[in-house]
């Protein structure tokens, strides 16, 4: 079957790999210069199979309001609030009212994450070159008694859901991460021993090369301009290549859009999926939830994290990626504002120094901002769209790197009319139609 994949982020490229392995002829289009240059570029690097949870938690509205006005609160909303932001907040608040929905989504995310862990084992073979991937566990560190209580409650939920985890005393936390010698208080830690890390951007680029060597055609600098929708099926798309920049600074005239015929479309366009799906009659409530990261070279490996540590107080993740460290934080509703305020980076630096002083000079680190493609409840949109030949694999929010390998395989199963490996009910793309 000829399959057109829209988007070359980690989700699109893992999907391409799954489909080419199954014998399909795959074309991937993306307006950027290469793979994984949008949200998959510099995320926190965690493959947190035991640590996935829905966005719309029952206590999220209260927590968000509490942290909104503090410099250190992770949740931010840029003013004035846009209609899109308000609509997303209202939908999120509505989803967060249902404990049943939260519990069901949580279990479904954990099931997909566990399947993804399994799929990653096979996927780690093809990419040539290191993506600094490892499975040395994820640890969330409590900084006071209230954090301890919150993490112990989390541990009870993980117990109930059968997720492998361990509770660590302050001494055990420091044994686990001997570089953690900063002044930040430690009152305990929750560790997921089987969780992993890795550079999502490097992984995706390597996997894209492996896909190409198996015949996948990547059309970069190329965007979908319009759909050819007839008799309820997508027959093809008009795609347009961006003009080349010349050295003299002059641009080529844009080339006319060309027609790309296809049997099947898989939409993997992250935050852009909403606009791309609208002409198809689909209303996808995906919102770009902004975050920031700093990536720096490690000066002293003995003082650096060995794996990934989440500071419960700052809500900042600190992840070892080979000889680099990445510090990531904030959950901000700012539409598509790509600005990187210095005060956000300052909080990331403070959080890191309070745990791992002397490990890296984050003054020299590379700043980045990206947008989590978030649905109002949290689970992705994974499954058939209204058109008979449209599949969606988008809206993975906070956990797209973690869930990519599993959800790509699920798309292959749906396309080949096999029973999906996980229960897809909480991921149904049409679940917001009447919300």
The residues of the shown chain that bind ligand FAD, judged by CB under 6 A, are 6-12, 29-32, 36-40, 43-46, 48, 223-224, 268-270, 272, 276, 291, 293, 328, 370-373, 394, 396-402
Q: How far is the CB of 57 from ligand FAD (least distance, A)?
A: 17
- In sequence order, which residues have a C-beta less than 8 Å from that of residue 231 and are 6 or more positions away? none
Cα 344 from Cα 314, distance rounded (Å): 12
> Which C-beta is closer to ligand FAD: that of 31 or that of 189?
31
Residue closer to ligand FAD by CB (options 266, 298) is 266
Measured CA distances, 337 to 82, 289, 340, 370 (Å): 12, 10, 9, 10
Nearest approach, Cβ of residue 37 and ligand FAD (Å): 6
What is the bridge-based pairing of β-strands 308-311 and 316-321? antiparallel
CA-to-CA separations, 362 to 261, 311, 352, 382, in angstroms, rounded: 48, 17, 9, 38
Smallest distance, Å, CB 171 to ligand FAD?
27
Closer Cβ to ligand FAD, 29 or 415, answer by number = 29
DSSP per-residue codes, 195-233 = -EE--HHHHHHHHHHHHHHTTPEEE-SEEEEEEEEETTE
| CA neighbor of 394 nearest in space, from 415, 413, 408 | 408
99 is written with which tokens? 């404990």
**30: which residues sit within 8 A by CB, 6+ positions away?**
7, 8, 9, 12, 218, 219, 220, 222, 223
CB-based contacts of 287, cutoff 8 Å, min separation 6: 84, 85, 88, 271, 333, 374, 376
Q: Which is nearer to ligand FAD, 60 or 318 (CB)?
A: 318
Of 291 and 378, nearer to ligand FAD (C-beta) is 291
Compute the distance between CA of residue 307 and CA of residue 320 in angstroms, rounded to an integer: 5
The CA-atom distances, in angstroms, between 393 and each of 103, 377, 429 are 22, 16, 9
Tell me whether residue 187 or residue 198 sits nearer to ligand FAD (CB atom).
198
Which is nearer to ligand FAD, 379 or 420 (by Cβ)?
A: 379
CB 434, min distance to ligand FAD, A? 25
Closer Cβ to ligand FAD, 91 or 268, answer by number = 268
Closest distance to ligand FAD from the beta carbon of 163 (Å): 16
Give me the count of residues in the chain: 435
* CB closer to ligand FAD out of 170 and 194: 194
> At closest approach, how far in Å is the CB of 169 from ligand FAD?
26
Q: How far is CA 32 from CA 132, 139, 244, 424, in A?
A: 24, 34, 12, 31
> Are the beta carbons of 49 and 402 closer than 8 angstroms?
yes
């Amino acid at each position: 079957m000829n399959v057109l994949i829209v988007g070359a982020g980690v989700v699109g490229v893992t999907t391409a790999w799954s489909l080419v392995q199954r014998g399909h002829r795959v074309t991937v289009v993306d307006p950027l210069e290469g793979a994984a240059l949008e949200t998959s570029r510099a995320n926190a690097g965690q493959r947190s199979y035991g640590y996935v949870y829905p966005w719309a938690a029952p206590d999220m509205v209260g927590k968000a309001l509490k942290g909104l006005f503090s410099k250190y609160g992770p949740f931010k909303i840029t003013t004035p609030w846009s209609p899109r932001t308000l609509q997303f907040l209202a939908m999120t608040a509505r989803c967060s009212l249902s404990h049943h929905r939260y519990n069901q989504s949580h279990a479904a995310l954990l099931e997909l994450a566990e399947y993804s862990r399994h799929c990653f084992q096979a996927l780690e073979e093809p990419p040539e070159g290191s993506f600094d991937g490892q499975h040395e566990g994820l640890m969330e560190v409590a900084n006071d008694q209230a954090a301890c209580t919150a993490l112990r409650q989390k541990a009870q939920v993980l117990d109930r859901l059968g997720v492998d985890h361990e509770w660590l005393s302050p001494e055990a936390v420091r044994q686990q991460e001997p570089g953690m010698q900063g002044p930040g208080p430690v009152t305990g830690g929750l560790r997921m021993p089987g969780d992993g890390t890795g550079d999502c951007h490097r992984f995706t680029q390597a996997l894209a090369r492996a896909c190409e060597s198996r015949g996948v055609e990547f059309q970069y600098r190329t965007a979908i301009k319009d759909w050819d929708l007839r008799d309820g099926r997508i027959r093809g798309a008009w795609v347009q290549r961006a003009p080349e920049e010349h050295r003299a600074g002059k641009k080529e005239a844009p080339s006319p859009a060309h027609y790309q015929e296809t049997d099947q479309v898989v939409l993997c366009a992250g935050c852009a999926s909403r606009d791309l799906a609208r002409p198809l009659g689909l209303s996808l409530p995906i919102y770009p939830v902004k975050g920031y990261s700093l990536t720096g070279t490690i000066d002293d490996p003995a003082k650096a994290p060995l794996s990934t540590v989440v500071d419960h107080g700052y809500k900042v993740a600190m992840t070892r990626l080979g000889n680099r460290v990445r510090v990531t934080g904030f959950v901000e509703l700012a539409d598509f504002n790509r600005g990187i305020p210095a005060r956000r980076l300052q909080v990331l630096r403070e959080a890191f120094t309070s745990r791992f002083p002397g490990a890296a000079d984050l003054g020299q680190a590379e700043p980045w901002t990206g947008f989590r493609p978030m649905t109002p409840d949290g689970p992705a949109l994974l499954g058939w769209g209204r058109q008979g030949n449209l599949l969606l694999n988008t809206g993975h929010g906070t956990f797209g790197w973690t869930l990519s390998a599993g959800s790509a395989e699920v798309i292959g199963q749906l396309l080949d009319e096999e029973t999906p490996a996980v229960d897809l009910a909480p991921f149904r793309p049409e679940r917001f139609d009447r919300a």
